[in-house]
């Protein structure tokens, strides 16, 4: 008895050879000759050429034109531009004014910060004087220790608020 895998491989090879031979026979049977018996020459046209000295060609490109050197400028603080004497492409020298910010908003913020600082100083002084008066009343027994602690801590809170208001940048 033969090996079943060997038998199966043999029949697959025979089938492949048969399909190849059959396909080739069908291709040969359908082949039609396309050459004509009468050979007619192809028409020929003559074209005259003139030599030109040059030519122009219009070209359109997509892209971005960039300067050879760029400069980035900016302000240290935010604000609205008041004047802009420099224009694009203009040559400038060190120290030239390129743009100027309006000072109205800065002035208003500075005035507001100054007023806040003055208010906090006044409230701190008032809290300190109240704490001193309550300290004298605690010795007499007219006021509780709790009232004295509240007044003392309020004065400390206003002292911290004053330090915070002084630390804010005035820009």
Average pLDDT, consecutive stretches of 10 residues, N- to C-terminus, the chain (171 residues): 84 95 88 69 85 87 78 79 84 86 83 88 91 88 88 90 80 54
Q: How far apart are CA 25 and CA 46, in angstroms?
A: 47
pTM above the 0.85 mark? no
The count of other CB atoms within 10 Å of the CB of residue 107 is 10
């Amino acid at each position: 008895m033969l090996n079943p895998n060997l038998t199966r491989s043999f029949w697959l090879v025979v089938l492949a050879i048969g399909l190849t031979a059959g396909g080739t026979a069908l291709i040969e049977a359908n082949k039609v000759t396309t050459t004509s018996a009468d050979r007619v020459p192809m028409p020929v046209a003559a074209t005259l050429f003139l030599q030109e000295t040059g030519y122009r060609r219009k070209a359109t490109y997509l892209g971005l034109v960039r300067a050879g050197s760029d400069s980035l400028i900016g302000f240290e603080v935010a604000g609205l531009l008041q004047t802009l004497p420099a224009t694009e492409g203009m040559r400038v020298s060190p120290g030239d004014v390129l743009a100027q910010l309006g000072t109205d908003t800065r002035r208003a913020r500075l005035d507001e910060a100054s007023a806040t600082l003055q208010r906090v100083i006044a409230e701190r002084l008032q809290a300190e004087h109240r704490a001193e008066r309550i300290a004298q009343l605690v010795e007499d027994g007219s006021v509780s220790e709790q009232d004295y602690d509240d007044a003392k801590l309020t004065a400390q809170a206003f002292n911290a608020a004053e330090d915070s208001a002084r630390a804010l940048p005035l820009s």
